């Protein structure tokens, strides 16, 4: 809660310094806090039913997009693919957590089938990223069943998410070899890469306080020339760097690291903790290359999953943390 409070406070400070609009950041912080609190309470009372219901709702919400986009319903909403992939990832994580939490074989099989449904759902919805991320969560969850310690299993995915963020940052800075840079640029639209470079340019000019929350669209050279742009650079680390400076990036990373630490210490079974860690790490990687965290449903869902995986069931586990 201290870290989330610091995120909210810093957004207000940077907004006051540059006449920014902190409402988006404050809403995201509120969604994460509300989701986490709800997940802790519902996970304590209903450790299987709560994440199971969340997985069903998440799959339904992913199918309901682009209706959940912040744009007008009659317009082609820009950039909702990141939210679809994120919801499918969280759905797979919630279903796998529920499956590991139950001791009933038939129910575990049904929840496993629900988790597997996210992969064909990604194909049907045209979300290749959601399909791949959902499959990765499933594989990590299966491997978690034989895990002994939590530390290495949580550190590995965290480093992978860091590599993704660092690679996007290096691509925006032009620091990658030509061959690798060309291959990566071919995977994303030219406009997306230009947005990343624009965000890094703004971050370099205002590394302390940034340009202010919500001001990227005003100062960007690329956004005004794009009719359906949502005014975001489609990368959470680069957006934080551009709008809230180095401290904003530090707070974003600190929140992610604290979640992993909470999963390492949770009394829930190790497969539940590691599955949630894999899903949230996949979400972090998606947030580095999309605007997934700009959707309240995604930030609230991430808080819910973290809450379910760290809740203490009233009549639940006796496993020691880290076992």
Q: Please report, to the nearest 10 degrees, the dihedral formed by the alpha carbons of residues 222, 129, 26, 260 taken in order.
A: -130
150 compared with 71, residue with greater pLDDT:
150
266 compared with 79, residue with greater pLDDT:
266
**Does 322 score more than 90 pLDDT?**
no
Q: Can you give the pLDDT at residue 193?
A: 86
Q: Can you give the pLDDT at residue 206?
A: 84
Q: Can you give the pLDDT at residue 323?
A: 45
Q: Average pLDDT over the chain, rounded to whole?
A: 87
pLDDT (tens digit per residue) in 171-181: 988 888 888 88
**Does 76 score more than 60 pLDDT?**
no
Q: Can you give the length of the chain in residues?
A: 323
**Does 279 score more than 80 pLDDT?**
yes
Closest CA to 104 of 49, 42, 58, 43: 49
| Residue 155 to residues 97, 179, 263, Cα–Cα distance (Å) | 19, 29, 11
pLDDT (tens digit per residue) in 8-55: 999 999 999 888 889 989 999 999 999 999 999 999 999 999 999 999
CA distance 268 to 25: 31
Average pLDDT over residues 199-214: 88
Close Cβ partners of 109 (under 8 Å, ≥ 6 residues apart): none
Q: What percent of the chain has pLDDT over 70?
A: 89
CA distance 279 to 24: 24
pLDDT (tens digit per residue) in 113-126: 999 999 999 998 88
Q: Can you give the pLDDT at residue 73?
A: 34
Q: pLDDT band at residue 1, thresholds of 50, 70 and 90? A: confident
Q: Can you give the pLDDT at residue 174?
A: 86
User: Is residue 229 within 8 Å of 6, Cβ to Cβ?
Assistant: no
Signed CA dihedral, 72, 293, 277, 301: sign only: negative
b/e map 85-109, b = 16+ CB within 10 Å = bbbbbbbbbbbbbbbbbbeeeeebe
Q: Using only the alpha carbons of the chain, give its radius of gyration.
A: 19
């Amino acid at each position: 809660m201290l870290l989330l409070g610091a995120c909210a406070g810093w957004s207000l400070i940077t907004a006051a310094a540059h006449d920014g609009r902190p409402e988006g950041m404050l809403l995201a912080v509120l969604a994460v806090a509300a989701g986490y609190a709800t997940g802790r309470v519902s996970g304590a009372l209903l450790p299987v039913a709560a994440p199971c219901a969340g997985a069903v709702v998440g799959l339904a919400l992913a199918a309901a997009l682009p209706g959940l986009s912040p744009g007008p319903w009659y317009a082609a909403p820009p950039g909702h693919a990141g939210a679809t992939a994120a919801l499918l990832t969280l759905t797979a994580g919630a279903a796998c957590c529920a499956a590991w939490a139950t001791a009933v074989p038939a129910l575990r099989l049904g929840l496993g089938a629900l988790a597997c449904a996210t992969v064909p759902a990604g194909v049907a919805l045209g979300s290749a990223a959601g399909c791949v991320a959902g499959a990765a969560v499933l594989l990590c969850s299966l491997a978690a069943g034989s895990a002994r310690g939590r530390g290495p299993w949580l550190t590995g995915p965290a480093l992978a998410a860091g590599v993704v963020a660092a690679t996007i940052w290096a691509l925006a800075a032009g620091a990658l070899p030509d061959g690798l840079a060309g291959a990566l640029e071919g995977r994303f639209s030219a406009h997306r890469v230009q947005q990343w470079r624009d965000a890094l340019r703004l971050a370099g000019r205002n590394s302390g306080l940034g340009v202010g929350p919500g001001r990227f669209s005003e100062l960007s050279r690329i956004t005004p020339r794009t009719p359906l742009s949502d005014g975001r650079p489609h990368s959470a680390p680069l957006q934080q760097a551009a709008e809230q400076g180095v401290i904003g990036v530090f707070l974003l990373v600190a929140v992610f690291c604290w979640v992993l630490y909470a999963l390492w210490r949770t009394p829930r079974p190790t497969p539940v903790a590691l599955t949630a860690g894999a899903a949230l790490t996949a979400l972090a990687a998606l947030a580095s290359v999309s605007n997934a965290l700009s959707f309240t449903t995604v930030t609230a869902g991430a808080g819910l999953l973290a809450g379910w995986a760290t809740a203490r069931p009233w009549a639940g586990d006796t496993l020691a943390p880290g076992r």
